[in-house]
Amino acid sequence: FTDPSYFGQLMVMATSHIGNYGVHTEEIESGKIQIAGLITKNFSEVASRTGKSDSLYGYFEKEGKVAIKDIDTRALVRHIRDAGAMNAIISTEIEAIDELNEALKKCPNMEGLALAPVVSTKEAYEVGPVDSKIRVAALDLGIKNNIVKCLTDRGARVKVFPYNTSTEEMMAWNPNGLFYSNGPGDPAASPEVVAEVSKGIASGLPVFGICLGHQMIALASGLSTYKMHNGHRGINHPVKNLETGLGEITSQNHGFVVKMEDVETSGNVVLTHIHLNDQTVAGIRRTDVNCFSVQYHPEASPGPHDSRYLFDSFIKNIQNN
Protein backbone atom coordinates (compact mmCIF):
# COMPACT_ATOMS: atom_id res chain seq x y z
CA PHE A 1 0.00 0.00 0.00
CA THR A 2 2.94 2.35 0.63
CA ASP A 3 4.88 1.63 -2.59
CA PRO A 4 4.91 4.92 -4.56
CA SER A 5 4.50 2.89 -7.77
CA TYR A 6 0.86 2.40 -6.69
CA PHE A 7 0.17 6.12 -6.42
CA GLY A 8 -3.40 7.09 -7.31
CA GLN A 9 -4.59 3.54 -8.00
CA LEU A 10 -7.39 1.50 -6.48
CA MET A 11 -6.06 -1.85 -5.30
CA VAL A 12 -8.16 -5.01 -5.48
CA MET A 13 -7.11 -7.84 -3.14
CA ALA A 14 -8.28 -11.27 -4.32
CA THR A 15 -7.22 -12.85 -1.02
CA SER A 16 -10.32 -13.36 1.14
CA HIS A 17 -9.07 -11.86 4.41
CA ILE A 18 -7.18 -8.57 4.50
CA GLY A 19 -5.90 -6.80 7.61
CA ASN A 20 -5.49 -9.71 10.02
CA TYR A 21 -1.69 -9.54 9.51
CA GLY A 22 -1.43 -5.94 10.67
CA VAL A 23 1.04 -3.21 9.74
CA HIS A 24 4.72 -3.19 10.76
CA THR A 25 6.59 0.11 10.67
CA GLU A 26 9.78 -1.45 9.26
CA GLU A 27 7.86 -2.71 6.22
CA ILE A 28 6.51 0.71 5.22
CA GLU A 29 8.07 1.73 1.89
CA SER A 30 7.35 5.48 1.93
CA GLY A 31 5.98 8.25 4.11
CA LYS A 32 2.32 7.43 3.53
CA ILE A 33 -0.25 5.11 1.95
CA GLN A 34 0.12 5.63 -1.80
CA ILE A 35 -2.95 3.81 -3.12
CA ALA A 36 -6.14 5.83 -3.65
CA GLY A 37 -8.32 3.13 -2.12
CA LEU A 38 -8.59 -0.55 -1.20
CA ILE A 39 -11.20 -3.07 -2.41
CA THR A 40 -11.59 -6.25 -0.35
CA LYS A 41 -13.83 -9.20 0.39
CA ASN A 42 -13.28 -9.17 4.17
CA PHE A 43 -11.51 -6.35 6.02
CA SER A 44 -10.32 -7.34 9.48
CA GLU A 45 -10.33 -4.65 12.16
CA VAL A 46 -8.23 -6.91 14.42
CA ALA A 47 -4.57 -7.73 13.76
CA SER A 48 -2.57 -10.56 15.31
CA ARG A 49 1.14 -10.82 14.60
CA THR A 50 4.42 -11.21 16.46
CA GLY A 51 6.17 -7.92 17.08
CA LYS A 52 5.02 -4.32 17.15
CA SER A 53 2.06 -3.95 14.85
CA ASP A 54 -0.77 -1.55 14.11
CA SER A 55 -4.12 -2.62 12.67
CA LEU A 56 -4.65 -1.97 8.97
CA TYR A 57 -8.03 -0.44 9.86
CA GLY A 58 -6.36 2.06 12.17
CA TYR A 59 -3.65 2.78 9.61
CA PHE A 60 -6.18 3.61 6.90
CA GLU A 61 -8.27 5.67 9.32
CA LYS A 62 -5.22 7.67 10.40
CA GLU A 63 -4.23 8.32 6.78
CA GLY A 64 -7.79 9.21 5.73
CA LYS A 65 -7.86 6.56 3.00
CA VAL A 66 -11.00 4.82 1.77
CA ALA A 67 -11.48 1.05 1.81
CA ILE A 68 -14.54 -0.97 0.79
CA LYS A 69 -15.40 -4.53 1.84
CA ASP A 70 -17.99 -7.23 1.08
CA ILE A 71 -17.06 -7.11 -2.61
CA ASP A 72 -16.77 -10.30 -4.68
CA THR A 73 -13.16 -9.50 -5.46
CA ARG A 74 -12.46 -12.70 -7.37
CA ALA A 75 -15.31 -11.90 -9.78
CA LEU A 76 -13.93 -8.36 -10.04
CA VAL A 77 -10.45 -9.68 -10.78
CA ARG A 78 -11.86 -11.90 -13.55
CA HIS A 79 -13.61 -8.86 -15.04
CA ILE A 80 -10.41 -6.80 -14.97
CA ARG A 81 -8.46 -9.72 -16.42
CA ASP A 82 -10.79 -9.81 -19.44
CA ALA A 83 -11.56 -6.10 -19.85
CA GLY A 84 -8.17 -4.73 -18.83
CA ALA A 85 -7.12 -2.24 -16.17
CA MET A 86 -9.57 0.65 -16.04
CA ASN A 87 -10.48 3.79 -14.15
CA ALA A 88 -12.86 3.28 -11.22
CA ILE A 89 -14.46 5.24 -8.41
CA ILE A 90 -15.48 4.51 -4.80
CA SER A 91 -18.06 6.87 -3.32
CA THR A 92 -19.56 7.18 0.15
CA GLU A 93 -21.56 10.29 -0.75
CA ILE A 94 -22.94 9.97 -4.29
CA GLU A 95 -25.07 6.92 -5.11
CA ALA A 96 -26.49 7.95 -8.50
CA ILE A 97 -24.70 5.89 -11.17
CA ASP A 98 -25.04 8.62 -13.80
CA GLU A 99 -23.33 11.16 -11.55
CA LEU A 100 -20.54 8.73 -10.72
CA ASN A 101 -20.00 7.95 -14.41
CA GLU A 102 -19.70 11.67 -15.17
CA ALA A 103 -17.16 12.06 -12.37
CA LEU A 104 -15.26 9.05 -13.68
CA LYS A 105 -15.00 10.56 -17.17
CA LYS A 106 -12.97 13.39 -15.67
CA CYS A 107 -10.33 11.02 -14.29
CA PRO A 108 -7.17 11.03 -16.45
CA ASN A 109 -5.96 7.80 -18.04
CA MET A 110 -2.64 6.43 -16.85
CA GLU A 111 -1.27 6.55 -20.39
CA GLY A 112 0.44 9.90 -20.85
CA LEU A 113 0.46 10.63 -17.12
CA ALA A 114 3.70 11.75 -15.43
CA LEU A 115 3.46 11.02 -11.70
CA ALA A 116 7.08 11.11 -10.53
CA PRO A 117 6.72 14.84 -9.68
CA VAL A 118 3.99 13.94 -7.17
CA VAL A 119 5.82 11.19 -5.27
CA SER A 120 9.48 12.23 -5.54
CA THR A 121 11.35 13.78 -2.64
CA LYS A 122 11.39 17.58 -2.65
CA GLU A 123 14.87 17.82 -1.17
CA ALA A 124 17.97 15.68 -1.67
CA TYR A 125 19.09 13.59 1.31
CA GLU A 126 21.94 11.22 2.18
CA VAL A 127 22.01 7.88 4.00
CA GLY A 128 24.59 5.19 4.65
CA PRO A 129 28.19 5.20 5.94
CA VAL A 130 29.70 8.67 5.56
CA ASP A 131 33.21 7.45 4.74
CA SER A 132 32.16 4.82 2.19
CA LYS A 133 34.13 4.60 -1.04
CA ILE A 134 30.94 3.48 -2.80
CA ARG A 135 28.88 6.57 -3.58
CA VAL A 136 25.55 6.04 -5.35
CA ALA A 137 23.54 8.96 -6.70
CA ALA A 138 19.90 7.84 -6.89
CA LEU A 139 17.24 9.67 -8.90
CA ASP A 140 13.98 9.42 -6.99
CA LEU A 141 11.08 8.68 -9.35
CA GLY A 142 9.13 7.13 -6.46
CA ILE A 143 11.86 5.23 -4.65
CA LYS A 144 11.02 2.57 -2.06
CA ASN A 145 12.74 2.68 1.32
CA ASN A 146 14.01 -0.86 0.98
CA ILE A 147 15.84 -0.08 -2.26
CA VAL A 148 17.93 2.48 -0.40
CA LYS A 149 18.41 -0.03 2.43
CA CYS A 150 19.60 -2.72 0.02
CA LEU A 151 22.28 -0.31 -1.20
CA THR A 152 23.36 0.93 2.24
CA ASP A 153 23.40 -2.64 3.59
CA ARG A 154 26.10 -3.29 1.00
CA GLY A 155 28.20 -0.43 2.31
CA ALA A 156 27.11 2.31 -0.08
CA ARG A 157 26.68 5.96 0.76
CA VAL A 158 23.51 6.97 -1.10
CA LYS A 159 22.33 10.45 -2.00
CA VAL A 160 18.72 10.53 -3.18
CA PHE A 161 17.89 13.36 -5.58
CA PRO A 162 14.51 14.80 -6.66
CA TYR A 163 13.15 13.55 -9.99
CA ASN A 164 13.99 16.81 -11.84
CA THR A 165 17.65 16.97 -10.80
CA SER A 166 20.07 17.46 -13.67
CA THR A 167 22.80 14.92 -14.33
CA GLU A 168 25.35 17.70 -13.83
CA GLU A 169 24.05 18.31 -10.31
CA MET A 170 24.13 14.60 -9.49
CA MET A 171 27.69 14.31 -10.84
CA ALA A 172 28.77 17.31 -8.74
CA TRP A 173 28.35 15.07 -5.67
CA ASN A 174 31.16 12.89 -7.12
CA PRO A 175 29.29 9.56 -7.21
CA ASN A 176 30.82 6.42 -8.67
CA GLY A 177 27.47 4.84 -9.52
CA LEU A 178 24.06 6.04 -10.75
CA PHE A 179 20.71 4.51 -9.82
CA TYR A 180 17.28 5.22 -11.36
CA SER A 181 14.36 4.19 -9.18
CA ASN A 182 10.91 2.73 -9.49
CA GLY A 183 7.84 4.95 -9.59
CA PRO A 184 4.32 5.45 -10.99
CA GLY A 185 3.02 6.69 -14.33
CA ASP A 186 3.88 6.50 -18.01
CA PRO A 187 7.65 6.67 -18.65
CA ALA A 188 7.11 8.24 -22.08
CA ALA A 189 5.34 11.20 -20.43
CA SER A 190 8.64 12.45 -18.94
CA PRO A 191 10.99 13.14 -21.87
CA GLU A 192 12.99 15.60 -19.77
CA VAL A 193 13.83 12.81 -17.31
CA VAL A 194 14.72 10.45 -20.17
CA ALA A 195 17.14 13.09 -21.49
CA GLU A 196 18.90 13.26 -18.11
CA VAL A 197 19.03 9.46 -17.87
CA SER A 198 20.69 9.44 -21.30
CA LYS A 199 23.36 11.81 -19.97
CA GLY A 200 23.84 9.57 -16.94
CA ILE A 201 24.35 6.51 -19.13
CA ALA A 202 26.90 8.43 -21.19
CA SER A 203 28.82 9.51 -18.07
CA GLY A 204 30.85 6.31 -17.96
CA LEU A 205 29.68 5.43 -14.43
CA PRO A 206 27.99 2.09 -13.68
CA VAL A 207 24.20 2.47 -14.00
CA PHE A 208 21.37 0.39 -12.52
CA GLY A 209 17.62 0.90 -12.90
CA ILE A 210 14.50 -0.72 -11.45
CA CYS A 211 10.90 -0.64 -12.74
CA LEU A 212 10.20 2.92 -13.99
CA GLY A 213 13.95 3.55 -13.92
CA HIS A 214 14.38 0.49 -16.14
CA GLN A 215 11.84 1.91 -18.59
CA MET A 216 13.59 5.29 -18.57
CA ILE A 217 16.89 3.56 -19.37
CA ALA A 218 15.17 1.72 -22.24
CA LEU A 219 13.75 4.97 -23.66
CA ALA A 220 17.15 6.64 -23.29
CA SER A 221 18.61 3.71 -25.26
CA GLY A 222 16.28 4.23 -28.22
CA LEU A 223 13.68 1.62 -27.25
CA SER A 224 9.96 2.24 -26.73
CA THR A 225 7.40 1.33 -24.06
CA TYR A 226 3.68 0.63 -24.13
CA LYS A 227 0.77 0.24 -21.71
CA MET A 228 -0.15 -3.37 -21.00
CA HIS A 229 -3.71 -4.75 -21.16
CA ASN A 230 -3.12 -5.81 -17.58
CA GLY A 231 -0.02 -4.94 -15.64
CA HIS A 232 2.05 -7.31 -13.53
CA ARG A 233 1.10 -7.07 -9.85
CA GLY A 234 2.15 -9.45 -7.11
CA ILE A 235 5.04 -11.26 -5.45
CA ASN A 236 5.11 -14.53 -7.42
CA HIS A 237 6.00 -13.66 -11.01
CA PRO A 238 8.38 -16.14 -12.68
CA VAL A 239 11.34 -14.66 -14.55
CA LYS A 240 14.20 -16.40 -16.36
CA ASN A 241 17.71 -15.00 -16.24
CA LEU A 242 18.88 -15.64 -19.81
CA GLU A 243 22.54 -15.14 -18.91
CA THR A 244 22.58 -17.85 -16.23
CA GLY A 245 19.63 -19.98 -17.31
CA LEU A 246 18.22 -19.80 -13.78
CA GLY A 247 14.63 -19.03 -12.84
CA GLU A 248 13.65 -16.39 -10.30
CA ILE A 249 10.41 -15.71 -8.45
CA THR A 250 9.99 -11.95 -8.46
CA SER A 251 7.84 -9.16 -7.07
CA GLN A 252 6.36 -6.96 -9.80
CA ASN A 253 4.25 -3.81 -9.89
CA HIS A 254 3.99 -2.12 -13.28
CA GLY A 255 1.48 -1.30 -16.00
CA PHE A 256 3.95 -0.38 -18.76
CA VAL A 257 6.62 -2.53 -20.37
CA VAL A 258 9.50 -2.23 -22.84
CA LYS A 259 8.67 -3.31 -26.39
CA MET A 260 10.31 -6.68 -27.09
CA GLU A 261 10.71 -6.05 -30.83
CA ASP A 262 12.82 -2.97 -30.09
CA VAL A 263 15.16 -4.96 -27.87
CA GLU A 264 15.55 -7.67 -30.51
CA THR A 265 16.50 -5.15 -33.22
CA SER A 266 18.68 -2.92 -31.05
CA GLY A 267 22.36 -2.70 -31.80
CA ASN A 268 23.46 -1.96 -28.24
CA VAL A 269 20.86 -3.57 -25.94
CA VAL A 270 20.50 -7.25 -25.07
CA LEU A 271 17.69 -9.04 -23.27
CA THR A 272 18.88 -10.45 -19.94
CA HIS A 273 15.61 -11.44 -18.25
CA ILE A 274 12.24 -12.54 -19.61
CA HIS A 275 8.84 -12.92 -17.90
CA LEU A 276 7.85 -16.57 -18.24
CA ASN A 277 4.07 -16.00 -18.13
CA ASP A 278 3.76 -13.70 -21.13
CA GLN A 279 7.29 -13.50 -22.60
CA THR A 280 7.63 -9.76 -21.94
CA VAL A 281 10.88 -7.89 -21.26
CA ALA A 282 11.98 -8.27 -17.64
CA GLY A 283 15.59 -7.06 -17.89
CA ILE A 284 18.08 -5.52 -20.31
CA ARG A 285 21.78 -4.69 -20.49
CA ARG A 286 23.67 -2.22 -22.63
CA THR A 287 26.60 -3.75 -24.52
CA ASP A 288 28.46 -0.49 -25.08
CA VAL A 289 28.37 0.97 -21.56
CA ASN A 290 28.20 -0.28 -17.96
CA CYS A 291 24.42 -0.19 -17.60
CA PHE A 292 21.69 -2.74 -16.77
CA SER A 293 18.13 -2.67 -15.51
CA VAL A 294 15.19 -4.88 -14.55
CA GLN A 295 11.43 -4.42 -14.72
CA TYR A 296 10.76 -6.10 -11.38
CA HIS A 297 11.62 -5.41 -7.73
CA PRO A 298 14.70 -7.29 -6.42
CA GLU A 299 14.37 -5.44 -3.09
CA ALA A 300 10.90 -6.95 -2.43
CA SER A 301 9.90 -6.60 1.22
CA PRO A 302 7.88 -8.60 1.93
CA GLY A 303 8.45 -10.89 -1.02
CA PRO A 304 11.00 -13.19 -2.67
CA HIS A 305 14.72 -12.51 -2.36
CA ASP A 306 15.76 -14.48 -5.47
CA SER A 307 17.01 -11.35 -7.24
CA ARG A 308 18.95 -9.59 -4.49
CA TYR A 309 22.12 -10.55 -6.38
CA LEU A 310 21.39 -7.62 -8.73
CA PHE A 311 22.40 -5.18 -6.00
CA ASP A 312 25.60 -7.18 -5.51
CA SER A 313 26.26 -6.96 -9.26
CA PHE A 314 25.78 -3.20 -9.22
CA ILE A 315 28.16 -2.74 -6.28
CA LYS A 316 30.71 -5.01 -7.98
CA ASN A 317 30.44 -2.95 -11.17
CA ILE A 318 31.21 0.16 -9.13
CA GLN A 319 34.19 -1.45 -7.40
CA ASN A 320 35.61 -2.71 -10.70
CA ASN A 321 35.05 0.50 -12.64
Residues taking part in catalysis: 211, 297, 299
Half-sphere exposure of 12 (CA within 13 A, CB side): 19
